Structure 1
């Protein structure tokens, strides 16, 4: 983010806390308003009632929720998987695959990130072979030829960095080994299994996606015939079990501290189990916030999602920018005291700088009543 000369305000009025997300005035609920996600100037407003306690919500700003478990049709190609959310900078699909891909895929539209929600198997690509399992991120540089050979049914969230790249966040004062050690990024191997598949007879098709359209190139041999490679660019694998979240026992940290991958106009964050805050005055649930610069998407992978009610693994929520949100009413009961020492959730968050459109593939999986999950009961 470029340096900005923000309008210099240092003010306070009424009853307020001197420390954000801790030691709230008695009976008050905190709401944060901030610039540039959680990286710019912010204000903290203390309300007598939960900021999401509406009686009715009308209009296109409403939050959306999708039960992606209901998208059951398996697609042989990732380009046939339904688009859930998209804009000019990112495209998210949910892909069910129940057999080895009959053709190779190649994304010429941008870098590709595959998050394996369920299943296990093997990835074969230009660089060799890489095993995968549930909880894996598989990063595929733009232009890589690849195919998946699952051992059984698999479900995969695909995230495309349209016309650009994925990079790693600057970990700053935390140091380069925080969140995950770069040594954990595993690259493909040219091993016996990879060399053996090179001799598969017959024609081999490569489905190349560019500008949302698919072209087919047919080879009389298997084009995954590399005998070696070297360089500074390759697919990598990272599992959520290897992620070591940052936390503070005295302060509820914003979700941006869990950033795992960066792109030009969006970020990908990973939520994994962590201890709850132990300071008596610290919030122990996500704080209410009006994140007016980013759309927020959460894909729920596994565990107990402590700030959400009636949300299960395999679901996705979409909170458009400008929508004030925070924990559901049930979670508010644990705002300052939790019944267990740690969270046990795994989730992937995608925050986008530009507004997202809901894809046609999401319509069949939407829970239209999601907006009412915050509603105050009369």
Structure 2
């Protein structure tokens, strides 16, 4: 259904041509006077031309017609897509949402674009600084319609329903427990096969990359070889009734009409591509002695900021693994953080909150807001026999972590009708265990 190939490493050069048009990728130069098969050469740049070579991102696309052939863009309704961070006041409380709702097809047909709902975010799109977190909930495919984001990169985390994503570079089938990154400016359309829901992390500055490994060494976490890019697969399709190209530009939606499919790329090469990754390929690093390693050891992708060690956004997962720490309270510790932490659940039961935190829902613990395991988890883990145990089997939780102080939209606090107003109750049963007569030899 979707042909893919492995990346040999982040930042490397890749190339692909449709098997039906051998030799469609020019040899020796990027922009020949006449391209093979009468194609048009078009470059897609994801960085400034004069960036250092290691950070320069661009791809050449060889297409039947260039993407410039369209009618003028005109504004279209925004739905629940919003970047107005001041529409409602800040809220420092711990926030949790029950599974976000998906409209039934019989009620209303909703595709990926119309099903985007902004939950929270921070920063400014015009100055290319910040991020946003969205929820998508859709029940129908995008028909004769494409979408591209002029404002930044999109990381898609499906939770329910497979996604067939057709891009200018080719097709990718993305299933729950996989992720997909569509980088700035790349056109795509999204086909669903059932009611579908998931999470979207949008960053306005920089691109996702693998985190540095430091003392871990050469191997571990997400391996570059496990990422996949599409294989060229062109559509030579006229659409007399009109094909709609939707652009998100400075946080607003605009639509333009053309009479052909934009997925007409016969060949391409470069290092600026969409890609996917299966979360089960993540190589977990953890303690084999005592104490609790920081969640940064579970980072899959990061978007670095100009401050060393501080990220615009980290994508972190909590996959199945072994827990073997001695003399240790093994679940996540109680914590106040200088980062914002949004968590979502793809499947299963998260170890620190087995009740209330459900697949398709989420939670937000803002900067310096205390959080940690609920009372039941604390009592259970404090008395547990410490022996090797499997943690999170059948579960995949994740976190979007950011140095930005995010604010929740009006939709997230009110209109979605999913906010769990009883969330704080999960900590109220925590008991006093303080014993002033305790001795070092006491257990």
Same fold (TM over 0.5): yes
Please give the alpha-carbon distance, in whole angstroms, between the structure 2 residues aligned to 1:111 and 1:176. 27
Q: Is the 8 A contact 1:294 1:353 kept in 2?
A: yes
Contact 2:149 2:248 in 1 (8 A): yes
Residue matched to 1:285: 331
**CA–CA distance in 2 between the matches of 1:86 and 1:247?**
31
Question: 1:247 and 1:113 mapped to 2: Cα distance?
Answer: 25
- Verify: 1:276 aligned to 2:276, yes or no: no
2:237 to 196, 199, 221: 199
The answer as to 2:256 corresponding to 1:217 is: yes
TM-score, normalization: structure 2? 0.67
3-state SS, counterpart of residue 87 of structure 1: strand
Deviations 1:230-272 (A, max 9, x none): 1111111001111122111223211111111112322111110
Q: 1:319 to 1:300 in 2, by over 3 A?
A: same
Maintained 8 Å contact 2:320/2:390: no
**1:256 maps onto 2:302 in alignment:** no
Question: What CA distance in whole angstroms lies between the structure 1 residues aligned with 2:119 and 2:426?
Answer: 21
Aligned partner (choices 298, 314, 321) of residue 343 of structure 2: 298
Q: Any idea what SS the aligned residue of 2:245 has? A: strand
**2:227 aligned residue (167, 172, 185):** 185
TM-align CA RMSD = 2.1
Q: CA deviation at 1:377?
A: 6.7
SS state of the match for residue 421, structure 2? coil
**Equivalent residue number for residue 66 of structure 1:** 97
Q: Number of aligned pairs?
A: 314
Q: Distance in 1 between matches of 2:383 and 2:269?
A: 52
Q: Do the aligned residues in 2 keep the contact of 1:127 with 1:234 (CA within 8 Å)?
A: yes
Specify the SS of the correspondent of 2:254.
Answer: strand
> 1:78-227 residue pairs with structure 2 within 5 A?
78=113, 80-88=115-123, 89-102=130-143, 103-190=145-232, 194-195=233-234, 197-199=235-237, 201-202=239-240, 203-227=242-266
Aligned-pair distance for 1:71?
4.8
- 5+ residue gaps in structure 1? 1-58
TM-score, normalised with respect to structure 1:
0.78
| Distance in 2 separating the partners of 1:90 and 1:156 | 17
Contact 2:101-2:137 at 8 Å conserved across structures? no
Q: Deviations over 1:2-46 (max 9, x none)?
A: xxxxxxxxxxxxxxxxxxxxxxxxxxxxxxxxxxxxxxxxxxxxx
- My pick for the range that moved more, 358-367 or 169-178, is 169-178
Larger radius of gyration: 2
Return the alpha-carbon distance in structure 2 between the equivalents of residues 180 and 360 of structure 1.
Answer: 36
**Structure 1 pair 313/233, CA: closer, same or farther in 2 (3 Å)?**
same
Question: What is the alpha-carbon distance in structure 2 between the residues aligned to residue 322 and residue 87 of structure 1?
Answer: 16
TM-superposed CA distance for 1:67, in Å, is: 1.4
1:352 matched to 2:399: no
Q: Which runs of 5+ in 2 are unaligned?
A: 1-89, 124-129, 306-311, 432-443
Q: Does the 8 Å contact 1:123/1:132 carry over to 2? A: yes
1:180-233: CA deviations, max 9, x gaps? 22111000112xxx33x4325332111100111011121110011000111111
Q: Distance in 2 between matches of 1:225 and 1:353?
A: 39
Q: Deviations over 1:105-134 (max 9, x none)?
A: 100010111111121141111111111111
Rounded to whole Å, the distance in 1 between the matches of 2:164 and 2:316 is: 25
Shift in alpha-carbon separation, 1:259–1:324, aligned structure 2, 3 A: same
After the TM superposition, which parts of structure 1 deviate over 4 Å for at least 4 consecutive aligned residues? none
Q: Aligned with 1:350: secondary structure?
A: strand
Between the aligned partners of 2:190 and 2:91, the Cα distance in structure 1 is 38
Q: Contact 1:295–1:355 at 8 Å: present in 2 too?
A: yes
Does the CA contact (< 8 Å) of 2:98 and 2:418 recur in 1? Answer: yes
Q: Once the 2 structures are TM-superposed, how far is the Cα of residue 176 of structure 1 from its aligned partner?
A: 4.2
* 2:286 aligned partner: 247
Tell me how far apart the structure 1 counterparts of residues 185 and 229 of structure 2 sit (CA, whole Å): 16
**SS of the residue 1:241 aligns to:** helix
